[in-house]
């Protein structure tokens, strides 16, 4: 630990990839402390999307430390990720004009479909460049990119995985870890969640709880972003030499590319 806060606090590292998060205890107090959280956290706290923000302060080394209330609870199970409650919270986030305004105010990154394609193509290995299925999918995505670019950007979490959903002991649902927050097509978040956690014959039901009209245009956007996300995952797993995971990505890409009835109720 290379920083100090008020005397009397004891800091205990908690799970996470960045090594920036701690449980802080002092007497009977307990807080969740994190270095250099997004300044967007204050708006999320006010809206009840994340646990309540208690204070923010700059510490000796220049880092900004945030303190949130410590909530006892658990992450959601895979089955719970397909629940109406998750769909409703995501819908509330995506449709919040207040959150969109606040993220733009603190310099939230705008991510466009063209940028995602550029990210995939940058330093792409020859193995993936020459892969027949991946090449065909990339060509399809490029042919549709202008249509995808006409959608108004909304607040998106960007890392919608199960580990970032907290159900408190009081049965309150929160979405945490907003370091990847961006302004983009909400189909980015939706496609990631549907592909990972919702059976394909339940996609329409889930979207009804998300509270949106299930149009052909929305279906196309969800499939576009699903394909884009899995291309990026394929590239990442190839770079990390996680070939088993890469092959699973490619199988999912094939299923998405060839699938015709994902949105039909069975």
CA distance 166 to 175: 6
Least confident of 153-157, 172-176, 212-216, 235-239: 212-216
Q: Delimit the domains of the chain by residue range.
A: 10-70, 75-258
CA distance 246 to 239: 10
Residues 130-149: what's their mean pLDDT? 96
CA distance 176 to 158: 11
What CATH architecture applies to the domain 75-258? Alpha-Beta Complex (3.90)
Please, which residues have CB within 8 angstroms of residue 206's CB and are 6 or more apart in sequence? 82, 87, 194, 198
- The per-residue pLDDT for range 168-217, each reduced to its tens digit, is 999 999 999 898 999 999 999 999 999 999 998 899 999 999 989 899 99
List, as own/partner pairs, every contact residues 60-66 make where C-beta atoms lie below 8 angstroms and the sequence separation is at least 24, other chains included.
60/3, 60/4, 61/2, 61/3, 63/3, 63/35, 63/36, 64/35, 64/36, 64/37, 65/3, 65/5, 65/33, 65/34, 65/35, 66/33, 66/34, 66/37, 66/41
Q: Is 159 a known active-site residue?
A: yes
- The per-residue pLDDT for range 34-91, each reduced to its tens digit, is 877 778 999 999 999 999 998 888 776 777 778 889 888 999 999 999 999 999 999 9
pTM over 0.85: yes
- The per-residue pLDDT for range 103-119, each reduced to its tens digit, is 999 999 999 999 999 99
Q: Which of 17, 127, 130, 159 is catalytic?
A: 159
32 has which bridge partners? 23, 68
Please, which residues have CB within 8 angstroms of residue 150's CB and are 6 or more apart in sequence? none
């Amino acid at each position: 630990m290379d920083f100090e806060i008020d005397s009397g606090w004891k800091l205990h590292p908690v799970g996470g990839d960045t090594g920036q998060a701690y449980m802080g205890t002092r007497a009977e107090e307990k807080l969740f402390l994190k270095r250099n959280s997004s300044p967007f956290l204050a708006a999320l706290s006010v809206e009840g999307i994340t646990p309540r923000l208690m204070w923010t302060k700059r510490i000796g080394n220049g880092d900004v430390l945030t303190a949130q209330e410590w909530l006892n609870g658990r992450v959601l199970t895979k089955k719970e990720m397909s629940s109406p409650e998750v769909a409703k919270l995501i819908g509330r986030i995506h449709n919040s004009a207040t959150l969109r305004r606040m993220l733009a105010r603190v310099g939230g990154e705008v991510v466009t479909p063209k940028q995602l394609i550029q990210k995939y193509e940058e330093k792409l290995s020859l193995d993936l460049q020459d892969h027949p299925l991946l090449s065909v999918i990339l060509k399809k995505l490029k042919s549709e990119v202008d249509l995808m670019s006409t959608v108004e950007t909304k607040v998106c979490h960007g890392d919608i995985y199960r580990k970032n959903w907290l159900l408190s002991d009081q049965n309150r649902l929160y979405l945490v870890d907003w370091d990847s927050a961006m302004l983009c097509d909400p189909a980015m978040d939706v496609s990631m969640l549907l592909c990972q956690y919702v059976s394909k014959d339940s996609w329409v039901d889930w979207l009804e709880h998300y509270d949106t009209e299930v149009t052909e245009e929305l279906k196309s956007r969800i499939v576009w972003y699903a394909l884009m996300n899995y291309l990026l995952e394929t590239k990442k797993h190839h770079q990390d030499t996680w070939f088993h995971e890469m092959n699973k990505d490619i199988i999912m890409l094939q299923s998405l590319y060839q699938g015709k009835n994902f949105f039909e109720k069975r």
